[in-house]
């Protein structure tokens, strides 16, 4: 009891900063509008409340994309059970809106018991599914008190996170005792959960739902259209999900590449929409000819850089490129890289910087099968040059990457078998 009070006090002290960051207006960031009240448990009832819904929590964009195949399969198996998906961010909400007709969206209440209780009272969920590691103590305890089972899917626990939980074991105990089942990405994740005291009977290694990626035909068609717009016969490199401090590295390497490949085009996709204008300024200051995706300007042979200033179009953008550089990997250990599954599923040769610890298991598989090249800031330009000059080798890298994705598929089927055990069928 005292532990819970202490945690709530810490959260109360930290909440002004957390809320400021959440509601801070940024360029390209969708507005919460009048729906900000939902973060405080003032949640509208669902349009379809004939039976208790399944509640899925996906904090932001990446998690929202990951659950798409699960949502579609759940809805197919249980067409009469409503599904409500909560996100914390407005960008996550924009992604979930693409599932309109299958789910209803609500914003996740912040982790005060009274906020969560308000949400539960209105929504009346039969089951809570949490994506990855969005584990909030008061939320879990409030859900458990209402006898609502909790399943964590795509559960991962890095060595770094496990060490933190060991240091704050009193918080971990609140979390672990209120979760009914962990569906882990890898055996290493399962082992770390067990070392933290989780009963092995509550753990199943399923792999990642992200491997069961569902690439819509509409995205493939849009990628072909975009490729024609950008230039069918020119080499196109995409720097996907770049972070502050990384764009300069990419631009320097691209400038060196242009001396050898003057017809090359760089598609740059900043990770955060509030950085679109800053990145454009970096490009123009470096004397590149830039076209923003949202502008009405045409891409010509003189265009060097195509700035993707939209959200939720990564599959289309990657599909139009020849080589994919995954961001978050060239700036030390600040980020730890981003997921390689989307470019791999699209059969693209992949490049990464040396920091990819968030996806070390997948990176190792890709490296072993020659489907990924790792380079530093100083070798990026030469690596790109080599890949452009060896199109057959690059193509083989892409094919190898797709095989890795196909080999790892099956998490969706395994996850659904566990979820069915906790699901109240209403058919």
Residues noted as catalytic:
63
Tokens of 296: 């009405």
Q: Read off the tokens for 29.
A: 């960031």
d(CA 242, CA 224): 23
The full 3-state SS of 55-102, as one line of letters, equals EEECCCHHHHHHCHHHHHHHHHHCCCCCEEEEECCHHHHHHHHHHECC
User: Residue 167: exposed, middle, or buried by beta-carbon count in 10 A (0-12, 13-18, 19+)?
Assistant: exposed
CA separation, residue 294 to residues 298, 302, 310 (Å)? 11, 18, 7
Contact 243, 212 (CB under 8 A): no
The CB density around residue 35, as the number of other CB atoms within 10 Å, is: 16
Distance separating alpha carbons of residues 155 and 186, to the nearest angstrom: 9
Give the chain's largest Cα–Cα span: 66
Q: What is the DSSP string of 338-393?
A: ---HHHHHTT--EEE-S--GGGHHHHHHHHHTT-EEE--TTTHHHHHHHHHH-HHH
Q: Are the beta carbons of 412 and 70 closer than 8 angstroms?
A: yes
- Which residues, in sequence order, are CB contacts of 43 under 8 Å at separation 6+? 106, 107, 109, 118, 119, 122, 123
CB 356 within 8 Å of CB 363: yes
Q: What distance in Å separates the CA atoms of residue 79 and residue 102, rounded to the nearest whole number? A: 9
DSSP 87-144: ESSHHHHHHHGGGBTTBEEEEPPPS-HHHHHHHHHHH--SEEEEETT---HHHHHHHH
- CA–CA distances in Å: residue 291 to residues 123, 222, 251, 262, 283: 45, 18, 15, 17, 10
């Amino acid at each position: 009891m005292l532990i819970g009070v202490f945690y709530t006090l810490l959260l109360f002290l930290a909440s002004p900063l957390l809320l400021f960051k959440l509601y801070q207006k940024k360029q390209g960031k969708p507005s919460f509008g009048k729906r900000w009240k939902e973060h405080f448990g003032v949640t509208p009832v669902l349009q379809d409340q004939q039976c208790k819904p399944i509640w899925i929590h996906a904090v932001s964009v990446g998690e929202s994309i990951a659950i798409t195949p699960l949502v579609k399969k759940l809805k197919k198996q249980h067409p009469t059970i409503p599904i409500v998906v909560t996100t914390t961010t407005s960008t996550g909400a924009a992604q979930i809106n693409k599932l309109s007709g299958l789910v209803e969206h609500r914003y996740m209440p912040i982790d005060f018991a009274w906020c969560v209780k308000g949400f539960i009272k209105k929504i009346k969920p039969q089951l809570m599914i949490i994506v990855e590691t969005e584990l909030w103590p008061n939320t879990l305890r409030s859900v458990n008190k209402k006898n609502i089972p909790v399943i964590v899917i795509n559960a991962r626990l890095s060595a770094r996170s496990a060490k933190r939980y060991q240091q704050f074991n009193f918080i971990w105990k609140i979390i672990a005792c209120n979760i009914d089942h962990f569906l882990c990405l890898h055996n290493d994740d399962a082992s770390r959960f067990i070392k933290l005291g989780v009963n092995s009977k509550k753990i199943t290694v399923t792999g990642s739902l992200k491997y069961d990626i569902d690439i819509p035909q509409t995205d493939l068609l849009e990628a072909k259209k975009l490729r024609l717009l950008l230039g069918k016969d020119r080499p196109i490199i995409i720097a996907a999900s770049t972070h502050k401090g990384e764009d300069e590295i990419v631009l320097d390497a691209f400038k060196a590449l242009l001396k050898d490949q003057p017809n090359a085009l760089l598609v740059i996709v900043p990770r955060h929409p509030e950085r679109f204008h800053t990145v454009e300024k970096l490009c123009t200051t470096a004397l590149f000819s830039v076209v923003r995706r949202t502008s009405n300007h045409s891409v010509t042979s003189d265009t060097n850089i195509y700035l993707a200033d939209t959200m939720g179009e990564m599959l289309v953008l990657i599909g139009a490129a020849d080589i994919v550089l995954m961001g978050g990997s060239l700036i030390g250990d600040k980020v730890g890289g981003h997921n390689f599954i989307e470019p791999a599923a699209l059969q693209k040769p992949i490049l990464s910087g040396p920091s990819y610890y968030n996806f070390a298991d997948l990176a190792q598989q890709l490296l072993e099968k020659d489907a990924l090249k790792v380079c530093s800031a100083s070798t990026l330009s030469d690596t790109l040059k080599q890949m452009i000059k060896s199109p057959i080798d690059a193509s083989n890298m892409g094919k190898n990457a797709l095989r890795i994705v196909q080999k790892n598929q099956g998490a969706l089927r395994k996850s659904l078998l566990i979820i069915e055990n906790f699901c109240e069928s209403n058919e």
